[in-house]
């Protein structure tokens, strides 16, 4: 089974961000031109990863939850009342639990961001992608089928209980 592309992108973003923070701290202590160029490359990579994230659809509930975690971190201060509810939904999705009420609320929130008076289209797009990923049906494949029940024949029955 293929991993959710949002989960792998989120891991790349975290690793690049950690490298950027470490390089910035080292450059703060002792400036190096090579390190400054490395910081610029890391910033460009981070920007490219975020642009790719805007176009990537999650394929599972945990991927949708990870996307919502990123939305919570970038939510404007004017929408702080939504962040607690949104982070609760993200935690449930990351745990694999999907609730119908959560999906309805997320659809309304995405619509508000995309079409509202103070629209934030990037956050609205991310939330809409998360709703799409969370609403996908879950497929369960059975790797092993139970053995077929053997019907006893007359000779087995005539031998009596064993």
Residues 36 and 98 in one domain: no
Q: Mean pLDDT throughout 16-40?
A: 94
Q: Is residue 159 part of a domain?
A: no
**Contact yes or no for 71/82 (Cβ under 8 A):** no
**Contact yes or no for 45/17 (Cβ under 8 A):** no
Q: Is residue 160 part of a domain?
A: no
Residues 47 and 63 in one domain: no
Look at residues 38, 56, 74 and tell me which one is the last residue of a structural domain. Answer: 56
Paired tokens of 46: 């981070």
Residues 69 and 52 in one domain: no
Q: Is residue 156 part of a domain?
A: no
Q: Is residue 31 part of a domain?
A: yes
Residues 43 and 27 in one domain: yes
Total structural domains within the chain: 2
Cα–Cα dist 108/11, whole Å: 28
- Model confidence, pTM: 0.77
Q: Is residue 153 part of a domain?
A: no
Residues 41 and 92 in one domain: no
Cα–Cα dist 60/148, whole Å: 33
Task: Identify the pLDDT of residue 158.
Answer: 78
Task: Identify the pLDDT of residue 93.
Answer: 95
List the alpha helices (DSSP H) in the chain.
5-29, 33-55, 61-73, 80-94, 100-115, 121-135, 154-158
Domain around 117: 58-137
Paired tokens of 48: 């490219």
Residues 65 and 133 in one domain: yes
**Helix (H/G/I), strand (E/B), else coil: 161:** coil
Residues 29 and 75 in one domain: no
Which residues 6+ apart lie within 8 Å of 147 measured at CB?
Answer: none
Average pLDDT, the chain: 89
Residues 75 and 110 in one domain: yes
Q: Mean pLDDT throughout 101-116?
A: 92
Q: Which of 121, 104, 126 is nearest to 54 (CA)?
A: 126
The residue behind tokens 């629209």 is 119
Q: Is residue 69 part of a domain?
A: yes
The residue behind tokens 């961001």 is 113
pLDDT at 142 over 70: no
Q: CA-CA-CA-CA torsion for 129, 54, 9, 19, nearest 10 degrees?
A: -140
Q: Mean pLDDT throughout 133-147?
A: 77
Residues 47 and 62 in one domain: no
Q: CA-CA-CA-CA torsion for 98, 104, 106, 110, nearest 10 degrees?
A: 150
Residues 23 and 67 in one domain: no
């Amino acid at each position: 089974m293929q991993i959710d592309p949002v989960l792998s992108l989120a891991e790349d973003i975290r690793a690049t961000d950690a490298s950027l923070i470490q390089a910035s701290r080292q450059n703060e202590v002792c400036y190096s031109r090579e390190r400054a160029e490395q910081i610029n490359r890391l910033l460009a990579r981070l920007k490219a990863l975020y642009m790719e994230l805007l176009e990537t659809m999650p394929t599972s509930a945990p991927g949708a939850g990870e996307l919502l975690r990123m939305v919570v971190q970038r939510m404007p201060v004017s929408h702080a009342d939504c962040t607690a509810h949104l982070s609760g939904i993200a935690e449930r999705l990351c745990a694999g639990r999907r609730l119908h009420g959560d999906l309805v609320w997320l659809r309304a929130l995405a619509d508000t961001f995309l079409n509202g008076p103070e629209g934030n289209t990037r956050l609205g797009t991310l939330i809409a992608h998360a709703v799409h990923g969370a609403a996908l049906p879950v497929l369960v494949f059975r790797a092993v089928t139970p053995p077929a029940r053997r019907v006893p024949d007359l000779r087995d029955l005539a031998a009596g209980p064993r």
